[in-house]
Structure 1
Amino acid sequence: MSIENYDYIVVGAGSAGCVIASRLSEDPNIRVCLLEAGKKDSNVLIHAPAGVAAMLPTRINNWAFETVPQKGLNGRRGYQPRGKSLGGSSSLNAMMYARGHRWDYDHWSELGNPGWSYDEILPYFIRAEHNEVIQDEYHGKNGPLNVTNLQCPSPLNQIFIQASEENGIPFNPDVNGAEQFGVMTTQVTQKNGERCSVAKAYLTPNLDRPNLTVITRALTHKVLFDKDLSHASDNGTLPKAIGIEFSKKGQTRQIFAHKEVILSAGAFGSPHILKLSGIGPSKELQQHNIPQVHDLPGVGENLQDHIDLVHVYRARSDGSTFGYSLNCSVSMAKAIPQWQLKRQGRVTSNFAEGIGFVKSEPELEVPDLELVFVVGMVDDHNRKLRLGHGFSSHITVLRPKSRGKVTLASNSPNDSLLIDPNFFADEKDLHLMVKGWHLQRNILEAKAFDRYRGKPLYPVNANDPEAVIEDIRNRADTQYHPVGTCKMGPDSDPLAVVDHQLRVKGTEGLRVVDASIMPTLIGGNTNAPTVMIAEKAAELIRTNTLKHRI
């Protein structure tokens, strides 16, 4: 059997992997192989924006992970949906375009990561983006990732904005521009009424490149290292990544990389693969009989995720919301052919139509909470279906203090990691969530909503502090933004896994490029920042390649 050789192997065709594979393969002299454990992104539920409601609570294009029992959530297991197809979670998410705050990236730089300040990473956001609506120095016009306004947002979004203004929160026409504070109807990663996943933006237009190979349904087992170097010889040479072992259709295969192996499998997948490859905490590797290549204690540590609580109200009428009713069934029966023929109508909704970044205290300089307004009843990630109509709002702690980790369940690539976000381990997160709980309730109870608001799905006495905390512990869960498990940092940081060029410490020819490298969780949604990270990494890699050619 012939040996398959490439210049670069990219593991994971998600939001980062699609960018890396596309950008590197722009050079016809570079051979790139992209591996994805999931299927092709051909399912109509991916491309029809409203399909998110069917995928999120199920295993359709979704790993649908669970956490270990969370003490801070009264012993409940949290839910962790992650994309499993070309496009990764960008083929599963609610398509909201949000970048985070300037402060987040300046903080990364202050932690000892040169090149990652806001002014230095803004060009990569701009390079990635094609914004159909906003044209200024903060936005791109010719990038692959299409960003636009919702086609037919619910009029309830204006009510949400009015209710926020009643509570001292201003309308902000662009939370990704000069100022983040405020609320707006969200911009979305859509194009012509379809989801514009990162696969659709970067990968699909370039699948005919002869130097780009994409292999789906390929479960990565481990990184292969030069056997002569796998235990750091006396001359100080580092173990060099030379390929990947994976399985497809029950057959184990190996492919080889002349230049680099790049892990873009996400905050769960990338540390999992590193550990299975012998890169990680030595004690954990020994426990699972994995030969150690390099002792790297930070692999799997530093897990951070946005803890989130949803307030849900029934609606007095069903015209402006989605729900389970005869009227909505008739409406959607008409909307489906409208979308099929013209890519217009209600099927273009992402449901999570409103967004806001707010402050728990007026004197704060940087928003510490996020609002997401949903034109439907969202109960337990849409896993509990309710008859009738309503509306919901998420409140999210943007920069949690709690730190969790992911650890091996076994040495088999077929077994999921043990995921422990450690929600509310730091009491400061709970105190901030209590403030957010009250702020969000005040918005939904504001005069602007009086004509539309029915009864709350989970009534709680707002004047009873213990009841509020119990409600939070009983119902709070992720807002789907796990990061940090392959932390970027200087050598002085004992938990740093990659350096500021995203090279895995103690190795050669191996990088991690995805949300797992974030040293701290940014104050916003993580899809756009992950694309930015990959754009920057692609330039770092290409610059290095050119130096070697010269």
Structure 2
Amino acid sequence: MQADYVIIGAGSAGCALANRLTEDPTIRVVLIEAGGRDWNPLIHIPVGYMKLLDHKQLTWGFKAEADPGTNGRAIAYPRGRVLGGSSSINGLIYIRSQPEDYDYWAQLGNRGWGWDDVLPFFKRAERWTGDAAGIHGTERNLTTSPMTEQPEACRAIIRAAQELGLEYQPDVNNLPHGAGASIGWCQQSRGGRRRASAAATYLRPVKRRPNLRVVTNALVHRVVFDGKRAVGVEFSRQPVVGRVDAAREVIVSAGAIGSPHLLQLSGIGGPEVLQKAGIAVRHPLPGVGRNFQDHYIARMSCYVRNLETLNERVRGLGFANEVVRYFVQGKGIMTFGASLCAASIKVLPESATPDVQCVFAPASYKPGLIRKLDDRPGITGGP
């Protein structure tokens, strides 16, 4: 098998790259994905994410190391193993962050990463379905949407935040420079009633291009080199071991865990790490697989009175009504993601801008159980 470009990983980056590269009909692209097709209906129903985060077939099943700070628990670290990658299993929240975060990157020496630099690319990627706004794009692939409804429980949270001094922002992706603590409704990577994964928005529209080949259920073992040049990929697709040769480039887009892992398997990384694993050092690069950071969230739940929450709406006739609303109107709790509203606040006195994001949902889980909604009305929030 041969191509001009071989892309490893059909996640958010891989699907977008496959779409853009094959716009030129003379360029041949092979996109390799370890998982299968995105045929599971839970992927496409937004609220289905609750059943996907620890799905045995659609995720890699990673867990963080047990830590005293988590009471000795090994917390699940969901990473998608399916077309679309983690964009097919995540909570659908679409928030870009505040402008100052990008400006700080640029101040560190990363030219081209300031807010004014990246905003055109955000707009260029987006197909916003809400009210017209200059901050949003409307003509490209990634479909984004406002919430289909604003539950009273979340309205109460927003009112309480305003009483504490937070400013209500009607568009959390349109924060002005210098904005202080604020709260607003989340936006979603959703089009109508369906999840807008990278596979649905970038890959599916171009899947019939003759210069694109998508290979699923194929586990890449290593990048093949000719001297210092990457010239191909070795993979297994049970029970066959195969190889794809790249005339131009091998693009590694296997995610925050998969990409450094694959580089190490290919002999690129810290020599001591590779030698310990019995891997010949092809190129010493100590930073590979180090300095990993994640936006850990510590959720807190509480019971509420005189407010309707999702806990009651997912049972009996109430749930039957929600199913009908979803298929007839494309609205209701079946379109909800992981959180419905979000606050940006400043915790550290020395911070010039908000430094923590808190997200809220009109639901709560049973104590000690993973993603099992409580029998009593409750809400959840956390930084």
Q: Alpha carbons of 1:103 and 1:277: their partners in 2 closer, same or farther (altered >3 Å)?
A: same
Query: C-alpha distance in 2, partners of 1:207/1:261?
Result: 20
Q: Alpha carbons of 1:24 and 1:326: their partners in 2 closer, same or farther (altered >3 Å)?
A: closer
Equivalent in the alignment of 1:316:
305
Equivalent in the alignment of 1:304:
293
Q: Alpha carbons of 1:151 and 1:39: their partners in 2 closer, same or farther (altered >3 Å)?
A: same
What are the equivalent positions in structure 2 for 1:12-27 lying under 5 Å apart? 12-27=9-24
Q: In the TM superposition, what whole-angstrom CA distance separates every residue of 1:365-405 from its partner, at most 9, and x where no partner exists?
A: 31111111111114689616354133333333xxxxxxxxx
Query: Does the 8 A contact of 1:151 with 1:193 survive in 2?
Result: no
Equivalent in the alignment of 1:547:
none
How far residue 357 of structure 1 moved from its aligned partner, in angstroms, is 1.1
Q: Alpha carbons of 1:386 and 1:99: their partners in 2 closer, same or farther (altered >3 Å)?
A: closer
Q: Alpha carbons of 1:183 and 1:382: their partners in 2 closer, same or farther (altered >3 Å)?
A: farther
Q: In the TM superposition, what whole-angstrom CA distance separates every residue of 1:323-375 from its partner, at most 9, and x where no partner exists?
A: 2x697232222322443354333311225111121112678431111111111
Equivalent in the alignment of 1:502:
none
Query: C-alpha distance in 2, partners of 1:80/1:353?
Result: 22
Query: Does the 8 A contact of 1:322 with 1:375 survive in 2?
Result: yes
How far residue 59 of structure 1 moved from its aligned partner, in angstroms, is 2.6
What amino acid maps onto 1:19 in structure 2? A
Q: Is 1:193 paired with 2:182?
A: no
How far residue 106 of structure 1 moved from its aligned partner, in angstroms, is 2.3
How far residue 25 of structure 1 moved from its aligned partner, in angstroms, is 0.9
Query: C-alpha distance in 1, partners of 2:57/2:242?
Result: 26
Equivalent in the alignment of 1:120:
117
Equivalent in the alignment of 2:376:
389
What amino acid maps onto 2:65 in structure 1? V
State TM-score, norm by structure 1: 0.66
Query: Does the 8 A contact of 1:109 with 1:116 survive in 2?
Result: yes
Q: Alpha carbons of 1:292 and 1:59: their partners in 2 closer, same or farther (altered >3 Å)?
A: same
Q: Alpha carbons of 1:327 and 1:45: their partners in 2 closer, same or farther (altered >3 Å)?
A: closer
Query: C-alpha distance in 2, partners of 1:6/1:326?
Result: 51
Equivalent in the alignment of 1:250:
239
Query: C-alpha distance in 2, partners of 1:25/1:293?
Result: 31
Q: Which runs of 4+ in 1 moved over 4 A?
A: 361-364, 379-382
Q: In the TM superposition, what whole-angstrom CA distance separates every residue of 1:231-262 from its partner, at most 9, and x where no partner exists?
A: xxxxxxxx000111111122111001111111
How far residue 266 of structure 1 moved from its aligned partner, in angstroms, is 0.8
Query: Does the 8 A contact of 1:369 with 1:395 survive in 2?
Result: no
Q: In the TM superposition, what whole-angstrom CA distance separates every residue of 1:298-328 from its partner, at most 9, and x where no partner exists?
A: 00111111122111012336x73222x6972
Secondary structure at 2:174 match in 1: coil
- Which sections of structure 1, spanning at least 5 residues, go unmatched? 230-238, 397-550
Secondary structure at 2:291 match in 1: coil
Query: C-alpha distance in 2, partners of 1:363/1:329?
Result: 50
How far residue 284 of structure 1 moved from its aligned partner, in angstroms, is 0.8
How far residue 138 of structure 1 moved from its aligned partner, in angstroms, is 2.2
What amino acid maps onto 1:371 in structure 2? C
Equivalent in the alignment of 1:369:
356
Q: Alpha carbons of 1:293 and 1:6: their partners in 2 closer, same or farther (altered >3 Å)?
A: same
Q: In the TM superposition, what whole-angstrom CA distance separates every residue of 1:7-29 from its partner, at most 9, and x where no partner exists?
A: 11111111111111111111111
Q: Alpha carbons of 1:344 and 1:327: their partners in 2 closer, same or farther (altered >3 Å)?
A: closer
Equivalent in the alignment of 1:531:
none
Query: Does the 8 A contact of 1:83 with 1:89 survive in 2?
Result: yes
Query: C-alpha distance in 1, partners of 2:371/2:205?
Result: 38
Secondary structure at 1:80 match in 2: coil
Query: C-alpha distance in 1, partners of 2:203/2:185?
Result: 28
What amino acid maps onto 2:135 in structure 1? Y
What are the equivalent positions in structure 2 for 1:341-352 lying under 5 Å apart? 341-352=328-339
Secondary structure at 1:34 match in 2: strand
Equivalent in the alignment of 2:229:
240
Secondary structure at 1:50 match in 2: helix
Secondary structure at 2:168 match in 1: coil
Q: Is 1:147 paired with 2:144?
A: yes
2:279 to 286, 290, 296: 290
Query: C-alpha distance in 2, partners of 1:382/1:334?
Result: 26
Query: Does the 8 A contact of 2:308 with 2:377 survive in 1?
Result: no
1:278 to 267, 278, 281: 267
What amino acid maps onto 1:223 in structure 2? V
State TM-score, norm by structure 2: 0.93
Q: Is 1:37 paired with 2:26?
A: no
Query: C-alpha distance in 2, partners of 1:33/1:103?
Result: 38
What are the equivalent positions in structure 2 for 1:138-537 lying under 5 Å apart? 138-179=135-176, 181-226=181-226, 229=227, 239-316=228-305, 320-323=308-311, 328-360=315-347, 364-378=351-365, 383=370, 385-396=372-383
Query: Does the 8 A contact of 1:223 with 1:244 survive in 2?
Result: yes
Q: Alpha carbons of 1:192 and 1:123: their partners in 2 closer, same or farther (altered >3 Å)?
A: same
What amino acid maps onto 1:241 in structure 2? A
Query: Does the 8 A contact of 1:310 with 1:392 survive in 2?
Result: no
What amino acid maps onto 1:320 in structure 2? E
How far residue 44 of structure 1 moved from its aligned partner, in angstroms, is 0.7
Secondary structure at 1:205 match in 2: helix
Identity %: 37
Q: CA RMSD in A?
A: 2.1
Query: Does the 8 A contact of 1:130 with 1:142 survive in 2?
Result: yes
Query: Does the 8 A contact of 2:50 with 2:371 survive in 1?
Result: no
Q: Alpha carbons of 1:174 and 1:393: their partners in 2 closer, same or farther (altered >3 Å)?
A: same
2:46 to 45, 49, 58: 49
Query: C-alpha distance in 1, partners of 2:90/2:367?
Result: 16
Query: Does the 8 A contact of 1:57 with 1:383 survive in 2?
Result: no
What amino acid maps onto 1:273 in structure 2? L
How far residue 97 of structure 1 moved from its aligned partner, in angstroms, is 0.7
- Which sections of structure 2, spanning at least 5 residues, go unmatched? none
Q: In the TM superposition, what whole-angstrom CA distance separates every residue of 1:56-102 from its partner, at most 9, and x where no partner exists?
A: 24335222311122243343322201112111111111111111222
Query: C-alpha distance in 1, partners of 2:4/2:348?
Result: 52
What amino acid maps onto 2:185 in structure 1? T
